[in-house]
Amino acid sequence: MSKFIKLIAISFLAVVFLAACGGGTDGDTDTDTGTDGDTTQEQIGEGDIELVFWEFGNTGYDVLIEEYVAENPHVSINLQNSDMNDLHDNLFTSISAGSGAPDITMIEEAQIERFKTAPQAFENLYDYGASDVEGDFLDWVWNNGRSAEGDFQFGLPTDIGPTVMFYRTDVFEEAGFDSSPEAVSDLVATWDDFEEVGRQIKDSTGKLMTDAGELVYNARRDQATQQYFNPDGDLIMDEHNQIRDAFDYVAGLFEQDLVGDIPLWTPEWFGGMGDGTYATMLAPAWMQGVIKDNEPEEGVWSITTMPEGAGNWGGSYLAIPSETEHAEEAYAFIQWLTAPEQQLKAFEGYGLFPSTPAVYDMPEFLEYEDDYFGGIATAQVFSEAAQAVETVYKGRNFYPVDDEVKEALDNLSAGADPESEWEAALDRINRILERQ
Amino acid sequence: METTTKARGLSEKKKTALSAYLFISPFFILFAIFGLFPMVFSFYLSFFRWDGLSPMTYIGVRNFELIFTDPVFFSSILNTFIIGLMGTLPQIFIGILLAFALNSTLIRYRNTFRTFVFLPYITSIVAVAIIFGVVFNNQPFGFANYILSTFDIGPIRWNAEYWPVKFAIATMVFWRWVGYNTIIFLAGMQSIPKELYEAAKIDGATVGQQIRLITLPMLKPIVMFVVFTATIGSFQLFTEPLIFLGRGLREEGITMVAYLWRDAFVYNSFGTASAAAIVLFFIIIAITAINLLITNRLGRSKKIG
């Protein structure tokens, strides 16, 4: 028995000793960074009300949170950062199981659709006064975070990914065009222009107009006022012609070899950015970093508006799972974090593009220029795009359906017949929907 | 404290039994939670419609109707068999030859070669799939297409055409597992007495004759083991097609496990995924039974011979 007691005593001492070593407290904020697998967590603040906050990516929210807990000492925030897919898988599992969800979670724009089928698992932000801030956000971003009926707000928007046309000035000049953003914007004002300019670039330089069918299709899809589903959840993609037009347009580009078969995120796609294999890329604001990594030379790529409008790719929402015991405090925090002042800081620090149009008029934002893109006020180009995005109903099966269309597009690049590919895609889509 | 007094009250025999059960209980408890329960639950789930978030609704055999009317489901079964055969049969032949070479006294630096041949097995499967994604690239400058172009064969779309997809995935499986099986064969060969080879050499047997008449017959149980594990392995083929084809998992290359994974975690249709899992369960049982039957027969003929 005495051996047993000794063992306990030693273990106890060891724990106390280790804890003493770890507890370096510095003034009012105690920052304790621990790592659990690929998840890093950081405890910020010393308040009694602890809010667990799941985030992904590189948001720089820790700096903002320190500001918040300094003003609100009764709150402390446990910020846990993990991989984007892991976060959504974990959230799905914990909601499905009914335990383990955090107080606040970030949900990616593409993923929020499937969580909308579980309103019982989230707090309706309208109950906490979300209607007061509704007007601060862009309509389409707000509506994407809301139920089809419009009475349940799942999340407050953080950042967005408005799409524009990135283009290579050298290729446009080689083809004999004026390569200033204004001139290119006028030159490629419509999708017919896009096709025509593509032909001229191909004739005079032998280069592709754009990388792959996917981004052209996305651009045209995002400009459609009706997409795959109506708010009742019925598949309508074959009943109106906007999606079919987008599909046929890409098929036409493939037939004329104006668009490449260079899948996104492949080595040849990254390489093409530096080599100028393709003249344009229809991509969101956050693609700037990818381009800069692959083409070190300044002034080669520039930015202008996309033909006939804009679209959105990416961005996130902050939601409050119902499991929380501190919904009021959680809401107060996310409302603060998504307010225009904080969104401006997130933009300046980490390039998160704001979802609140008030930021677009702030002087710091207007003056934001980028030498890399020829010294133009890039933030303004993106903010124009952000305001041109259409509100459209997506529906919970949006992404599975979209994947099947992308598969059809992939087959088109190999020379398949558009009509039969469209039918085959519809067939696959119907089989997916039967399961729901 | 109460338990200890109780335990004291037990007879010595019961105490031994109790401690024995306690020692083996971790496995059974873990198995019950992570093995048995999910298995039973997926039988139950296969009769329900469930998206993981909303309540479940009982729909009878509708899930089975859905998968049996889905041509992709049958493609996934066929793909699993084709890729399994393409990936494992060559492994057995090449594995035996490699093992024979590594076992022979003619080769220098044998340990180095043994290590090298085993290396692919310990590589991260994701890294393998990414590297092979570059080798089997659709573009004309992809490694495989470049080699083919020297024979005047046009670029192949490796991740979209019927046979090329299967060939690419099977190559990945082959590359990763051939070393593992070589080592198993090698272990088997080392248990074959050297005297047999020496006697054969004295009698003037060639290397081919040695392989055919000594190595192969003596290696029969090892071959059985490799066929067994390779069969099970090929039914579980998942990561390679997923990473090579992406989440869309085209019909040309989807395997059974990938099919049910996609139903569950991409389409959030846990009912049909469970139904597919149950069909897979019965297919594996059937194949295992056939495997056992053949093994038994071979085992018997050996005794008679």
Query: Hey, CA dihedral for A325, A331, A332, A333, is it positive or negative?
Result: positive
Q: B interface toward A at CB cutoff 8 Å?
A: 49, 51-54, 66, 70, 72, 133-134, 137-139, 141, 157, 160, 247-248, 250, 263, 265-269, 271-272
Which of B53, B247, B263 lies at the smallest CB-CB distance from A95?
Answer: B53
Q: Does A115 touch chain B (CB under 8 A)?
A: yes
Q: Which residues of A touch B134 (CB under 8 A)?
A: 267
**Helical residues (DSSP H) of chain B, grouped into ranges:** 2-9, 12-31, 37-45, 62-68, 71-103, 110-122, 125-135, 143-149, 162-190, 194-202, 207-210, 216-218, 220-235, 239-245, 256-265, 270-304
A 10 A CB-CB count for A313 gives: 20
Half-sphere exposure of A21 toward its Cβ, with a 13 Å CA cutoff? 6
All residues of chain B having their beta carbon less than 8 Å from the beta carbon of residue A263 are 138
Say what the pTM is.
0.82
**Residue B98 in this model has a pLDDT that exceeds 50:** yes
Q: What is the pLDDT of residue B278?
A: 94
B65-69, B105-109, B201-205: which range is least confident on average? Answer: B105-109
Amino acid (1-letter code) at residue A275: D
Burial degree of A336 (CB within 10 A; 0-12, 13-18, 19+):
middle
Q: What is the pLDDT of residues A371-409, one digit of tens each?
A: 899 888 888 899 999 999 988 888 888 988 999 999 999
Say what the pLDDT of residue A28 is. Answer: 35
Min Cα separation B158/chain A (Å): 11
What integer is the mean pLDDT of A274-278? 90
Contact A404, A430 (CB under 8 A): no
Chosen for mutation from B53, B64, B76 (greatest number of chain A CBs closer than 10 Å) is B53
Q: Is pLDDT of A144 > 70?
A: yes
Mean residue pLDDT across chain A: 87
Chain A hits for B53, CB-CB cut-off 8 Å, are 92, 95-96, 114-115, 117-118, 121
pLDDT for B31 beyond 60: yes
pLDDT at A401: 93
pLDDT band at B139 (very low <50, low <70, confident <90, very high): confident
Q: Is the pLDDT of residue B2 over 70?
A: no
Q: Please state, in angstroms and as integers, the Cα–Cα distance from residue A261 to each residue in A192, A272, A409, following that order.
A: 21, 12, 10
Stretch A356-372: mean pLDDT, rounded? 89
Taken in order of first residue, the domains within chain A and their CATH numbers are 26-160+315-364 (3.40.190.10), 162-312+376-434 (3.40.190.10)
Q: In terms of residues, how long is chain B? A: 305
Provide the residue count of chain A: 436
User: What domains sit in chain B, N to C, each tagged with a CATH number?
Assistant: 2-63 (no CATH), 66-304 (1.10.3720.10)
Question: Quick one: DSSP state of residue A310?
Answer: -
Of B103, B56, B64, B12, which Cα lies nearest the Cα of A434? B64
Q: Residues 6 or more apart from A65 whose CB is under 8 A from it?
A: A44, A45, A53, A77, A79, A337
Q: Could you tell me whether strands A208-210 and A278-284 are parallel, antiparallel, or unpaired per DSSP bridges?
A: parallel
CB contact under 8 A, A400 and B271: no
Rounded to a whole number of angstroms, the distance from the CA of A115 to the nearest CA of chain B is: 8
Rounded-to-10 torsion of CA A111, A117, A123, A128: 90
